[in-house]
Amino acid sequence: MLCISGLTYSQYEDTLSNSNLAGKDKAIILYGEAMALYDEGELAQSLSLSKIAIAACEEEGMLDGVAQLLLNMGKASRVNGDYQQSLKYLFMSNEHFQTLGILSGQASALNEIGAIYRLQGNYSEALEFFFNSLKLYQQINDSAGTAVTFNNIGIVYFYQNNFQKSLEYYLASLELELIREDDYGISISYINVGEVYKNLGQYDKALDYFLKALVLVKRSEDRDIDDDSIGILYNEIGSIHCSLGDYGLSQSYLLRALDIFIEIDNRQRLAECQIYLAELSQKKHGIEKAKTYLYQALANAKEISALDIIVDANQKLSQIFEQTNETEKAFYYYKNYIEARDSIFNKDQMKQMVQTEMLYKFEKEMQQANLEQTKRDILVKENARRQKLVRNFLIFAFIVLLIIAVIIYSAYKTKQRINRQLNRQQIQILEKNEELLQQQEEILSQRDEIEKKNQTLEHSQRIIEDKNDRIISSIEYAQTIQQAILPNRQELTSFFPNHLVFFMPKDIVSGDFYWFSAVDDLLFAAVVDCTGHGVPGAFMSLIGNTLLNQIVNEWGTKDPALILEVMHKEVRHVLNQDTSNSKAHASMDICLIAIDTVAKEATFAGASRPLFLVKNGEVTRINGDPRSVGGFQLEKNRCFTNHAIDVSQKISLYLTTDGFTDQMNPSFKKFGRRKFVKLMESISTLNIDEQYIAINQAFEEHRQGYEQIDDVCILGINLKL
């Protein structure tokens, strides 16, 4: 399976046909891989492989697999904006599920079809499919599917400006999601309820729901297959701030939403965001910029046949041109607005007929259930009323008897109480005087004690500050020592004229370091990531640097894989990791390369680190062995693998630690390997100084001031032997 997942899709059939797998086993593997790619968000690859998997499943009679694959292909095509192809796959999927009698599959397919019609502005068709889906979900008691369908029906009413009806369905969906304790489902309901309150002008309530949704969406971001939930929330929050007159905050949220929608290529959401940006630009007196956003929104909406956005964009363009006295253009866009609006209106007439019939069937079932519940409520209320009468009578009788007893007792005790009260008041006055005197003495004593403690605290603070200064001075001196053992940049330049070193310790001294050595015709270079950072990491870096110099320069070891193997043994020996009670489990991840300047060949070996090659603008990743140097060792011997590289032509090598790709931004999202590969591709044509600037800029833009979480080290070499 691991081998298969790394192949291109034109190679799948060749790989499987050349293996021992055939028939049903082959179909099962293709089906599983296509489903896995869809779950991982690799939609284009999933679509390609699904076509191969469907043919294999049909041949083996696996019709349920065919139906599920068609359903996923429909969903993927919807995300890609290809609505016609999506409908084709979804109708085929529904037919297969009907043939097999799988109600859950039918309900899901009908729901997805309704969603496509809703996106196209065909609300009558959308409602028909949503209500059919709802009946199936309720028939099989699927609360998750019921909640999703309630949400979708609410969206249709929302786009028809029937906000009260929309809110009714949204809240019904939210109630089910809260019972299920599904964070992602709750967040979607929060978003929809917030949109209703926003359109009702209740901005405080809308913001409250949007912010609650944002927290839940970030917590369950991996479940957002469309990758658009955070962008939708930024879009809506930005729109509200625009309505409230906070244009700066509005622009910040809307531009962040725009970047997300551009990245995921969601034309529907992109057009909605461009409409909001146009409104913001118009309020800030940026008429030309508003036109540009509206043109872009109109183009995106036409591409996916989103009638509601086409109506909105044409209407706003007409209004802008009317304000600027461009009457011909104003009339042109007003005519387009009327045509699009009438198109939706005509479809709404059909919707009223379908909706009336569907609602009648649905509400008839609800009325029957409500009637039974009403009968039960009446019986409960009647029993409660009788119990209340008996209880009230007993309480009344008890109160009357209690009042009589109190009056008699009060008359008897009144005289005695008055005498006792006078004596008690006199005693209380004397006690209070004594208490005040005692409190005064305690206050004076406490004041003296507080002054003594303050003096002690000030003295302790001075001691702590002095120790802290000495510790920092020691670490800074340690930084000087660590920098002294790093390769001399002039020496590096003499062997590698075009090289860059991007070295950023997290805490003054670093657990990452780079190393270089020249032995005969061989040039060695390495980047090492030691366990930990700061002072512990720096100690490990000194050990690693010393061992590399000893193994290569003193012992004459030239084979990279053998160097790593010897270094592994030496690290475990130095840290006493072979003893049974050892607590030193530190290790090192190493990217090591040896370049033969005569043979024009290079040999790479890696311990839990890859090597990135850039040749003709294409990035190639060569993975090292998935084992570190030092640390735990379950196997008897730890060996490493050499990888030969042809460096006779111009090529760039990048040796890195994981600090760059693991860096978080304020949204707790890593820079990631894919983004790093794209960065390498984008800078491949730049000179080495420009590459350094681009790498530093990409790192800071991603970090956005967020704390650096690990040491970072990148050694880049442009070779032309």
* Number of helices and strands in the chain (H, E): 23, 11
CA atoms within 13 A on the CB side of 534: 5
CB atoms within 10 A of CB 501: 16
DSSP conformational letter for 716: E
Residues in the chain: 721
- Per-residue pLDDT tens for 184-222? 888 888 889 888 888 888 888 888 888 888 888 777 766
517, 546 Cβ separation under 8 angstroms: no
Gap between the Cα atoms of 670 and 663, Å rounded: 5
The per-residue pLDDT for 349 is 44
Helix then strand then coil, % of the chain, to nearest 5: 70, 10, 20
Taking a C-beta distance cutoff of 8 angstroms, is the pair 712, 503 a contact?
A: yes
**pLDDT (0 to 100) of residue 15:** 46
User: Which residue ranges of the chain lie beneath pLDDT 70?
Assistant: 1-22, 221-226, 344-380, 382, 580-583, 721
Tokens describing residue 504: 């950023």
Instruction: Tell me if 347 sits within 8 A of 124, measured CB to CB.
Output: yes
3-state SS of 440-456 is: HHHHHHHHHHHHHHHHH
Can you give the pLDDT at residue 454?
A: 77
DSSP 621: E
Q: How far is Cα 219 from Cα 226, in angstroms, rounded to an integer?
A: 16
For residue 524, the Cα-to-chain-centroid distance in whole angstroms is 40
Q: What is the dihedral of CA 161, 165, 166, 169, to 10 degrees?
A: -170
Give the list of residues 6+ apart from residue 66 with CB closer than 8 angstroms, or none: 54, 57, 58, 96
Spatial separation of the C-alpha atoms in residues 519 and 98, rounded to whole Å = 73
As a whole number of angstroms, the distance between CA 176 and CA 151 comes to 11
Count of Cβ atoms closer than 10 Å to residue 446 Cβ = 10
Q: What burial class does residue 91 get, using C-beta atoms within 10 Å of its C-beta: 0-12 exposed, 13-18 middle, 19+ buried?
A: middle
Report the pLDDT value the prediction gives residue 359, as an integer from 0 to 100: 56
Give the DSSP H/E element, type plus range, for residue 512. strand 512-519
| Contact yes or no for 347/120 (Cβ under 8 A) | no
**pTM exceeds 0.85, yes or no:** no
Parallel, antiparallel, or unpaired for β 587-596 and 522-530?
Answer: antiparallel
For 146, 170, 213, 279, 701, the CA distances from 185, given in Å and listed in that order, are: 11, 11, 10, 30, 32
Let me know: does 36 contact 55? Beta carbons within 8 Å: no
Single-letter code of the amino acid located at 676: F
DSSP state of 608: S
Q: State residue 366's pLDDT score.
A: 54
pLDDT score at 19 = 47
d(CA 335, CA 322) in angstroms, rounded, equals 13
Name the maximum alpha-carbon separation found in the chain: 121
Structure confidence at residue 11 (pLDDT): 47
Cβ contact 575:582 at 8 Å:
yes
Q: What is the rounded CA–CA span in Å between residue 155 and residue 501?
A: 53
Q: Would you kindly state where each structural domain of the chain is located, as residue ranges?
A: 489-719
Q: Are strands 611-615 and 587-596 parallel, antiparallel or unpaired?
A: unpaired
The DSSP call for residue 586 is -
* DSSP run (H or E) holding 226: none
For 658-679, the pLDDT digits (tens) are 999 999 999 999 999 999 999 9
DSSP for 273-306 reads HHHHHHHHHHHTT-HHHHHHHHHHHHHHHHHTT-
Q: Please check whether residue 308 is in contact with residue 275, taking contact to mean a CB–CB distance below 8 angstroms.
A: no
Q: Please tell me the class of the 489-719 domain.
A: alpha beta
